[in-house]
Chains A and B, each alone.
Chain A
Amino acid sequence: MNRIKKKLKQSEDILSIYFTVGFPCLNDTVQIIKKLDASKVDMIELGLPFSDPLADGQTIQNSSKIALANGMSTQLLFEQLIDIRNHTDIPLIIMGYFNPIFQYGIDLFCKKCKEVGIDGLIIPDLPPEIYISDYKFFFQQNNLINIFLITPQTSEDRIRYIDSISDGFIYMVSSSSITGGENNFNKKNIDYFKRIKNLKLKTPKIIGFGISNRETFLTVNKYANGSIIGSAFIKHIQKNGISSIRSFVKGITS
């Protein structure tokens, strides 16, 4: 069974951590994965850096820029992950913009993902319709789950459609914003979380964007199967180094 599905069956209040690969240092990727795993994080999203990250705020723009300047590339990520499955069984997802994956070749990219033990992909600028018509085959062939996003503006019809084509989980964007917002959730956000919860979708939901601390983590867990933290984690390791990963995770989960 795909590790994402297995994890979602076994656990509640999932904590998924996103970080940009190649940041802060080029070869930190494996160390960060091991430390997150040891800190009892449930899932990891490996952010493939892109020169023009349209949906990202300052923090992830900056970490992507540094990672690229460090020399990070798609090929290097696969090399870094070559024996990662000897060390951990944690679900691993690659999140990246479409162009670098398109240049690598979707077919080859998916094969490489399977080879190193990636479980799923999140490609924000590859719309579900184009995925279904052009690329689904390659994902299925390599046992990769493609994760789709919904936002507060997504219509109920479209949510139902996305639910019907989803496997693993639905990435629920918390508010109408790019990544890295740090406000507490207001009534509007909560109403949206409730509305989606009441749709009783077949696919589990994990909420991301704007979750930065224990308080916001606990809030979203009331309405979904878990949450994704990205910018707050990147800020933390930028300031405190990767040796302090355990204390960051503890601050969220206990």
Chain B
Amino acid sequence: MSYNINSKGYYGSFGGAYIPEMLLHNIEELNDNYLKIINDQSFLKEFNELLKDYVGRPSPLYFSKNLSRKYSAKIYLKREDLNHTGSHKINNTIGQILLAKRLKKSRIIAETGAGQHGVATATVCALMGLKCIVYMGATDIKRQSPNVARMKMLGAEVISVTSGSSTLKDATNEAMRDWINNPIDTHYIVGSVVGPHPFPDMVARFQSVISKEIKEQLMQVEGRDYPDYLVACVGGGSNAAGTFYDYLDDKRVKIICVEASGKGINSGKSAATTKLGKLGIIHGSKTLLMQTDDGQITEPYSISAGLDYPGIGPMHANLFTSNRGQFISIDDDGAMAAGLMLSQTEGIIPAIETAHAFAIFENKKFKPKDVVVVNLSGRGDKDLENYTDYFKI
């Protein structure tokens, strides 16, 4: 059995395309073309060149001496924070903008939570000269203002979404409505491994460059191309999907997904989907999601805007229910403390999303010989105000 997608667009029993007829044309067009386009030689050439010269790949795999000493394990950091625009999100937007051009689309829409995906989308739209509209929850616009300014600077139109809890879920709804209203000229650059098939698979493929590089880099420094553990934070799950991709079926590698439990799993203010969610349909995908007994999707909460999503991607739902992945939840305080710890131990200020992944070392014990690769998915510039307010620095 493979943990990757099957021919029908499902990971185990999760995934599929539960979409209204109004979106079918767009989804079918993508589904009929995406594999053909992204496996085409001219596409791969352009994609790889941009990843190298524009994004700055490969991103380093940095052996963290200080963390390794502190937690007695061999801890490597996959430095996606060093990418152009400051996170892994650009890997996917480069891929999708090249795809959109080949589908002759002239208008790009996107949703964003923390603003990292919005910035990465605005960036590639500027590069390719395409019109860019980003939907962002009003709550997130307030807490991620540096990224809003960046998107505007890059020429994107940022539309404030005030429905629901005014966060990522609602921004995604609004982007989908836009796509229904614009079925011909518009491509929707979904930012995570969520949404109807083929988005989870397509985004995972674009992010899989992360695990491909880890393989090569580990081979050079460890003499073997696999780690004992891979660790990544999960909101929708795109940096995790990219980190795990080439190791999904390699059982020597243990997978750890880190969710945000907000103010605590039972506090009513949480985003720990595997602890609180059950099977349902969100944004066109059958997956685990947080909902009431009546099937109403509940408002998630996390201090990090990028993990503030009531579902997880279908790949991760399958990793969870099959026990292929271990899911650990970290609350706001744990994440903030880990963010400060990484800053002062290694001189790297991580995004608050990413900080969740580093918080597991407080409780999860490793053996000194264990090779642990943590995806340092984004940098913390955008979060400085949140950090300084929190720590009263």
Contacts and interface: CB of A to CB of B under 8 A. Distances in A.
B18 A73 contact: no
A100 B280 CA distance: 9
Nearest to B284: A125
A74 B18 contact: no
B163 A124 contact: no
A183 interface: no
A13 to B, nearest CB: 24
Contacts of B280: 99, 102-103
Contacts of A173: 21-22
A100 B295 contact: yes
Contacts of A61: 163
A173 B20 CA distance: 11
B296 interface: yes
B103 interface: no
Given A51-B164, A125-B281, A177-B181, A98 B294 contact: no
Contact-residue size bin, chain B (C-beta under 8 Å from the other chain): 20 to 34
Contacts of A127: 17-19, 21, 24
Contacts of A97: 281
Contacts of B295: 50, 74, 99-104
Nearest to B25: A153
A99 B22 contact: no
Contact of A52 (B21, B173, B181, B184): B173
A125 B20 contact: yes
B297 interface: yes
Contacts of B18: 98, 125-127, 130
B303 interface: no
A92 interface: no
Contacts of B182: 176
B24 A154 contact: yes
B177 A149 contact: no
A158 B22 CA distance: 13
A52 B282 contact: yes
A247 B17 CA distance: 42
A99 B286 CA distance: 9
A150 interface: yes
A165 interface: no
B21 A151 contact: yes
A163 to B, nearest CB: 14
Contact of B164 (A52, A100, A102): A52
A1 to B, nearest CB: 27
B296 A100 contact: yes
A36 to B, nearest CB: 25
B173 to A, nearest CB: 5
Given A54-B173, A68-B296, A102-B295, A124 B181 contact: no
A190 to B, nearest CB: 18
Contacts of B297: 51-52, 99
Given A99-B282, A176-B183, A149 B291 contact: no
Interface in B104-137: none
Contact of B21 (A104, A150, A177): A150
A164 B93 CA distance: 40
A99 B173 contact: no
Interface string B170-181: 000100110011
A148 interface: yes
A99 B20 contact: no
B16 interface: yes
Interface of B: 16-22, 24-25, 163-164, 169, 173, 176-177, 180-184, 280-284, 291, 293-298
25 contacts: A54-B20, A54-B176, A57-B177, A61-B163, A74-B295, A99-B295, A99-B297, A100-B294, A100-B296, A103-B291, A104-B294, A124-B20, A124-B21, A125-B18, A125-B20, A126-B18, A127-B21, A130-B18, A151-B22, A151-B183, A154-B21, A173-B21, A176-B182, A176-B184, A178-B177
Given A50-B295, A50-B296, 16 more contacts: A52-B164, A52-B297, A54-B180, A100-B294, A103-B280, A104-B295, A124-B21, A127-B19, A127-B21, A130-B16, A148-B21, A151-B183, A158-B24, A173-B22, A177-B180, A178-B22
